[in-house]
Amino acid sequence: MAQAGFPKKLRLLNAADYKAVFSGAQFKVSCRHFLILAISTPAASPRLGLVIAKKNVSKAVHRNRIKRLIRNSFRLNQSLLASLDIVVLARQKSDSLENNVIDEKISVLWSDLQNKSKQAGISKASQ
């Protein structure tokens, strides 16, 4: 059974991790509501960081809902993703989406990210 949590080894934990992704993003995939930036890493598994700005999603309830949905989608799809450090940014109006729409959009972005990393020759995480 897959682990249901979101342990530290799967998270970007400090400012240096985020800065590395923002300054050296090798892969960018986006839709109207979300932007995903990623860099390849030697780590065995992908790591996720979330940036849900109060400017873009004003209510804390909506920010937390979006983060929860993205974390869950990442957890379910991490076996498909290469060894990447990934940052997901929410854009304006993303809080107006229903849960199933957010899940669909993020799943499409994971697929696009997987395809881009394959084209660049980065292998899947081996666990």
* CATH number (domain holding residue 70): 3.30.230.10
Question: Confidence class of residue 2 from pLDDT cuts 50, 70 and 90?
Answer: low
The one-letter code for the residue type at 79 is S
User: Residue 74 and residue 81: Cα distance in Å, rounded?
Assistant: 9
Tens digits of residue pLDDT in 35-62: 999 999 988 889 999 999 999 999 999 9
User: Residue 67 and residue 52: Cα distance in Å, rounded?
Assistant: 8
Q: Provide the H-helix boundaries in 1-127.
A: 15-23, 60-77, 99-119
Domain-embedded: residue 36: yes
Residue of 1, 89, 13 lying closest to 47 (CA atoms): 13
Domain interval for residue 37:
8-119
pTM of the model: 0.89
Domain-embedded: residue 2: no
Residues pairing with 124 in the sheet: 82
Residue 93 φ/ψ region, left for φ over 0, alpha for ψ in the -120 to 50 degree band, beta for the rest: left
Domain-embedded: residue 109: yes
Domain-embedded: residue 106: yes
Count of domains observed in the chain: 1
Domain-embedded: residue 126: no
- At 60 the pLDDT is 96
